[in-house]
Amino acid sequence: MSDYLRKGWLFIVLIVTMISCKNDINEVVSLTNHYRYPEMRALDISIFRSDSAKLYFQLFAKEMIQYSNNKKPYILFPKGFNAKHFEHFPTPESSIRAEWAKYFVNKKLWWAKNNVVAQNSDGEKLFAEELYWDQEKKIIYSDKYVKIQTPEEIIFGDGFEANEDMSQYKIKKIKGTVYIED
């Protein structure tokens, strides 16, 4: 084969290769978008927070996935969590558990859903399908159906707001029997 013919075939192969290659910018970005992937994943975790050797918070979770490479970093608890807040260890001041949760790091906001149960030191329990805990404002709230069980009564409602230890709360669109002392 002559040198001229060989160069001609090489030129045709290069042209066909260049024409057949196509780069979609959206596809390239999606492949290199590291914001979609977690920075950290941990299984069977226990987190303890203390101040001056005094335990004030503990959290247990089967799985924790942290997305901090994002402008809005968050931590996901896809298999739920169980958290306790202490004023005087070992008796919890309040506790909360849920089957799924997401913590928005910058907002210091928890979003818990699926069989959420919160309890205060008086033994009052809140049952909800969805609950928000704003750590900045020190409140918990929900606009969904809730049930509060106290030693004396059971109260239902569509919406709820309370301080974070649930010592004071208000139920929206209340339903059920409420006992009032004379």
Domain boundaries, the chain: 39-171
Residue 69's pLDDT is what? 79
- Label residue 123 left, alpha or beta by phi (over 0 means left) and psi (-120 to 50 means alpha): left
- Label residue 71 left, alpha or beta by phi (over 0 means left) and psi (-120 to 50 means alpha): alpha
**Whole-number percent of the chain with pLDDT over 70:** 78
Write the pLDDT tens digit of every residue in 138-158. Answer: 999 999 999 998 888 888 999
SS3 at position 167: coil
- Label residue 164 left, alpha or beta by phi (over 0 means left) and psi (-120 to 50 means alpha): alpha
**Whole-number percent of the chain with pLDDT over 90:** 38
CATH number of 39-171: 2.60.450.10
Q: Please compute the mean of the pLDDT values over residues 1-27 and round it to a whole number.
A: 65
Residue 179's pLDDT is what? 64
User: Cβ distance 73 to 106 under 8 Å?
Assistant: yes
Residue 121's pLDDT is what? 84
Write the pLDDT tens digit of every residue in 29-57. Answer: 555 555 677 888 999 999 888 888 888 88
User: How many CA within 13 A on the CB side of residue 62?
Assistant: 8
Q: Please compute the mean of the pLDDT values over residues 2-30 and round it to a whole number.
A: 64
Residue 178's pLDDT is what? 62
Write the pLDDT tens digit of every residue in 110-124. Answer: 999 999 998 888 888
In this structure, are strands 109-120 and 100-104 parallel, antiparallel, or unpaired?
Answer: antiparallel
